[in-house]
Amino acid sequence: MSELLQAVLESDEKSDLRQFASELRAAGNTYLLRNDILNSFSDYCDRHQKDNEFHASSLSKLIYYTQEIILEDESLCWIIRPEIARQEVYRLWSDLSIEPMTVQQLLDVRDRFVNHYHPQEGDVLELDFGPFYDYSPAIKDSKNIGKGVQFLNRFLSSKLFQAPDQWLSALFTFLSLHRYNGTQLLINERISNQRQLSGQIKKAITFVSKLNGDKPYDEFRFDLQVMGFEPGWGNTASRVKETLDILDDLIDSPDHQALEAFISRIPMIFRIVLVSVHGWFGQEGVLGRPDTGGQVVYVLDQARNLEKQLKEDQELAGLTGLNVEPKVIILSRLIPNSDGTRCNERLEKVHGTENSWILRVPFREFNPNLTQNWISRFEIWPYLETYAIDSEKELLAEFQGKPDLIIGNYSDGNLVAFLLARRLNVTQCIIAHALEKSKYLFSNLYWQDLDDKYHFSLQFTADLIAMNSANFIISSTYQEIVGRPDSVGQYESYANFTMPDLYHVVNGIELFSPKFNVVPPGVNENVYFPHTRNEDRIQSDRDRIEELLFTLDDPANIFGKLDDPNKRPLFSMARLDRIKNLTGLAECFGRSKDLQERCNLILVAGKLRVEETEDNEERDEIVKLYRTIDEYNLHGKIRWLGVRLPKTDSGEIYRVIADRQGVFVQPALFEAFGLTILEAMISGLPTFGTQFGGPLEIIQDRVNGFYINPTNLDETADKLLEFANNCDRDPNYWYKISQQAIERVYSTYTWKIHTTRLLSLARIYGFWNYASKENREDLMRYVETLFYLIYKPRAKTLLEQHVHR
């Protein structure tokens, strides 16, 4: 039994537990989430005049760790999360007897809650991925989740130590496999086994040690070839010696740091595919359109920096003489009716690169009225399998061979990445960006009511397929995987759940698998940089943005004229959708007269008029924003810019707001990471970010930014006012927070850090998949079964609806 429950039942607090359970039942709410439970317990303590000491009691501790309570006729289903990534479930009877419940029993309870439990019709399909991870190494401590590659390196180095012949043989064979366009790399046929490799390494080290460290590789290449070594060890004598020394140490005394250092240097990745299917993917005029925001910025920046890192790595490896040309392709969707964008162009070079491209592949036509236009990310599912088949041909033609790494983005891109990686047999990485299951409360439980609009049955199935098939998973934050002590992580929410009448997920993902790695993105430092770097700013752009934000009269694109443009600006920039919650920020501002006296609210947010958008959620938010402005009479105090800005302008906007000692507010109801937070902070803007999601790991509260609870409008207004008051009392306060925000980004969130880590991961997981001989085929067959028997029939049904629209 749970230690938390046991402590209560063995104390005199047992009667309080009985009374609390009784009052929950009397209140009539039959499904309570954590916040409901905490509020109910607080009310209970107030009603029964419990003193402060009671809040440190065993019952109070039990309540804190209780995640859900579901009330049934005779009992309570009590779900406890005693620590991150672990769950316990109990049935609590009226006499306080306790019995543990299985996951299957819990899912039945949830089905009964929504009246979709039909045992007389037979059992529902159960999905359990747990057994497929039994043969893989697993992390033990939850605090190490997201550090998968560190764990894997230790595991591999211990295997090298325990069974050196087996693993050194695997390493030798792995090294001998690598070629570029038919040219052998690393070792040639003169070295025939791992024992010979060890001796030749020592000879080569002796040889290069006698050379000038700066001597170019080409000048002693043939000497190394005679010893059995081909290009790939380094571009100078000192670099070659360094690489050979690391391998020599690894062979003689295996160590996880040496293993990572060596594998990270192997030239094995030259061609990368980044898959980003939905939305309008382009470099100009797309941001702010439906389904088009931070993911586009992320993928473009990632592509530029991956190419840059690949070139740097290959130069250091000594491959310059082989005319190696690393290539990065962003695979996206071609939209024939492109609405003035370049999304109807098959191939577009990524700005600032030599060999990175956006490759757009169209959906097959079916119904041209749909497939020639933008399609919502919630409706995109029927086209992805044929899209993957068509994309494979296009990619093979563009690369003139197979890619070395495929990285999926978001649920749809991750599914395409799975289909491509499976067909091409290459390493697959996925990046969620956001998992809709966490964003929409009870979305799995009520999927049948929501499926006509959101098609969650397809999306959640696609998520299960992608996250289990991936060789490794990148998350931007730890809590994206497993949350915090008081909240469940996005991936953790897939551990078990029910889709009533469709399937039960008993174990949807192994959270302790070393496939999870936290690798946060960076910021484009050419666009986003501190407002104090005046030498890098263009005065004409600065003046134009200043006018746009504060004084320009342009009714077609701007709503609102400021009575006093000199007030401190509160600034936010996002799409107008429910989760981004700009309407909530407007209401927060509207409810605080003090805030209105001190500040102006400036929003950069997509469209101004409902007739200009095809997105239902955006329409609703536009109507709500106008209603809020009228309800709180915010005329003269708010400016709403319905514009799509080029990237360079978005960088200057942050800086102009910072020039006026403004603040950036990110009020999202949930934010998986928060690129705009990084952009604002590196610009020097004090930033207020939502406490729900990734910003908790970016911002250090009251050090380089501030947390807000966007559901508590009065508290949010008070925090903004407190900041303004502190600035008035101490003229240096704004500058102090500003400087610490800048330092935080430069120390932790750069693309150089991101891409170095990502490529290192790809190489190490490539080696692990080869050397471990891990049999993933049973897992992949299970995943394919889910695709063909659940996903594909439902996608076909949706396609038939599309055809007849």
Backbone angles phi, psi at 115, to 5 degrees: 60, 40
Backbone angles phi, psi at 596, to 5 degrees: -65, -35
**Strands of the 31-33 sheet, one edge to the other:** 31-33, 66-71, 75-83, 86-93, 98-100
Report the pLDDT value the prediction gives residue 644, as an integer from 0 to 100: 78
The pLDDT averaged over each successive group of 10 residues in the chain (805 residues) is 85 92 92 92 90 83 95 94 94 93 97 91 92 91 93 86 83 92 94 92 97 96 96 97 95 87 94 97 90 91 96 95 93 97 97 97 95 96 98 97 97 98 96 90 95 97 98 93 90 97 97 95 92 95 96 95 97 92 97 97 92 88 96 97 84 97 95 89 97 89 96 96 96 96 94 94 90 82 97 97 93
Residue owning tokens 């009065």: 714
Report the pLDDT value the prediction gives residue 764, as an integer from 0 to 100: 93
The closest of 466, 674, 450 to 580, measured between CA atoms, is: 674
Residues 65 and 3: beta-carbon distance below 8 Å? no
- SS3 assignment, position 409: strand
d(CA 640, CA 652): 17
Cα–chain center distance at 429? 12
Q: How many helices (H) and strands (E) does the chain have?
A: 31, 25
The closest of 32, 76, 38, 81 to 60, measured between CA atoms, is: 38
Report the pLDDT value the prediction gives residue 673, as an integer from 0 to 100: 84
182: left (phi > 0), else alpha (psi -120 to 50), else beta? left
Cα–chain center distance at 544? 34
- SS3 assignment, position 522: coil
Expressed in angstroms, the distance from the first to the final Cα of the chain is 55
Beta-bridge partner residues of 98: 92
Report the pLDDT value the prediction gives residue 76, as an integer from 0 to 100: 95
What is the model's pTM?
A: 0.87
Element (H, E) at 127: strand 126-128
Domains of the chain: 3-101 (3.10.450.330), 150-177+187-229+233-263 (1.20.120.1230), 534-749 (3.40.50.2000)
CA distances from 323 to 125, 216, 307, 319, 449 (A): 54, 16, 15, 7, 57
Report the pLDDT value the prediction gives residue 555, as an integer from 0 to 100: 94
The closest of 611, 744, 582 to 677, measured between CA atoms, is: 744
- SS3 assignment, position 77: strand
- SS3 assignment, position 146: coil
Listed in sequence order, the residues at least 6 apart from 301 whose beta carbon sits closer than 8 Å to its beta carbon are 521, 522, 523, 524, 751
Q: Rg of the chain's alpha carbons, rounded to an integer?
A: 28
